[in-house]
Structure 1
Amino acid sequence: MTFLLQSTEERARAFAPVFARDLPEVPFVTDASAVDPAEVRFLMGWVFPEDLATRYPNLELVLSTGAGIDQVVNAPLPPNAKLVRMVESGVTTLVRDYCVMSTLALHRELIDYQAQQREKLWQARSFTWPDQRKISVMGLGEMGRATLEALRPFGFTLAGWSRSPREIEGVTCHHGAAGLDAMLEGTDILICLLPLTEETRHILNADLFAKLPRGAGLVQAGRGGHLNQPDLIAALDSGQMGGAFIDVADPEPLPETDPMWSHPRIVLTPHIAGNTRADTAAEATVQNIRRYLTGEPPLGLVDRSLGY
């Protein structure tokens, strides 16, 4: 009953002592060639081999090193294997902070002030108070809820949207297709933290942008496949969208000729909004395997029929 980690040396150094201390009954291995594939019950990585099901026929848990699982959700798994995404405090904290930073920058019109700085123009812009801004989050999982909680003290009007109904104190929650249109109405800054599924691919498109108030801002920290990039460029050029913080793209890295590199109303970051923290991920993984071994469902268990 072996746990095989296929990841970085840094992560391996963090995981090994935690497994030795807290889960000594499960052998911890990082070298696939050093273990009989039939003994591997738990496999963790980011990119998995195409012959996963035949190479490791006795897998019980396939664990992603990150919160995203679209790279493996459609992979063939052994019949009884379950897919688990990473749920740990480190990545949630980073994504939350990125979204708060980007929201405040859009709220205080930092993109416009940077343009004025380049023009050596010392001029105050009109103020909009937080209670005059509606901030909406697409995706009310752990990261979406953490982001909304962090934004609450600023006094914004908060809304959220998810596939199924949710209740969050102080947040107007919407769900389903009709709910999305209702949330977009009046949304000044839209934050995307959705999982990537066939239903959410290119959800950030011209039709959606047109339903936002003119000059709205976008924070895209979900997955690259959510965004129709030419539609965003067109919406920014027309003034329908006022500015965007973009952390994920498709493909990654972007080609040198992609207009997002140089667009004056885009702040582009190289997929750094979140990153799994090795030490807290090790503790979360050990706790999850213990849950599984005692008959409890692992945290982050993926419903493959839904894609998240």
Structure 2
Amino acid sequence: MTIGPHLTISNGFEAAANEAVRIGATTFQYFTRNPRGGKAKPLHPSDIEGYRRIAAENDFGPIMAHAAYTMNLCSADPSVRDFAKGILKDDMARLLEIPNSLYVFHPGSHTGQGVEAGIAYIVEALNETLTESIPPVICLEGMSGKGSEVGARFEELRAIIDGVTLNEKMGVCLDTCHLYSSGYDLVNDLDGVLEAFDRIVGLERLKAIHLNDSMMPFASNKDRHEKIGDGTLGFEAIERIVNHPKLSQLPFYLETPNELDGYAAEIAKIRAVRRT
């Protein structure tokens, strides 16, 4: 099973990989830069080589690069969109140097223009940025539907993918907290949710899962992550998710409100109920 936490890489990729191994993880997620900022730290080849060695020795799955929250590709403000495009292009260049990596970003908030206008701007940015040389799968993250977020419905994710010329590079990362909050009932109808995703987007596009419980009730459109088993999804639903035959081979990334010891306990608890 490939599972890991969200880690800081302030001390480098090699240090983050060592932390992951210490807590029983076989992957990790990280922000490409300060989540509220714009400038990324330079990459160092020796650090990447150290990460590569640890990942090979410990059978890591793909690590996940998470874009900054400030990257809003579909804002009504052209300067915000241009700033976001700059982040996206820089992230794509950096990922060329990091082996076995996925990339995930929030589609953004249309800030009052409407979903169709927001999707058009996201598609424009991706078509300006993606090239044949970019190897990683670019994952749209499904959202909870708060405010003017784009991407809370499967149909919106599909519309973005359909508009991208090089859409063979596009995938989806589903967040269990976001899904439940956006009105997809993972607790009582997991099969139905996956059937709908397959029909609208296609399960072949599903590349990763953000595995989180939720502090908020079903269909609340609120994005509040909770520790595994302590929220409204509950541990039984999480157990069904990690063991579902259509999901079990995907990488799972924890974004729960935890420190390292808490992540270690969650990873152990999840591994204990894995049946495959």
* TM-score normalised by the chain length of structure 1: 0.28
Pair member with larger Rg: 1
TM-score by length of 2: 0.30
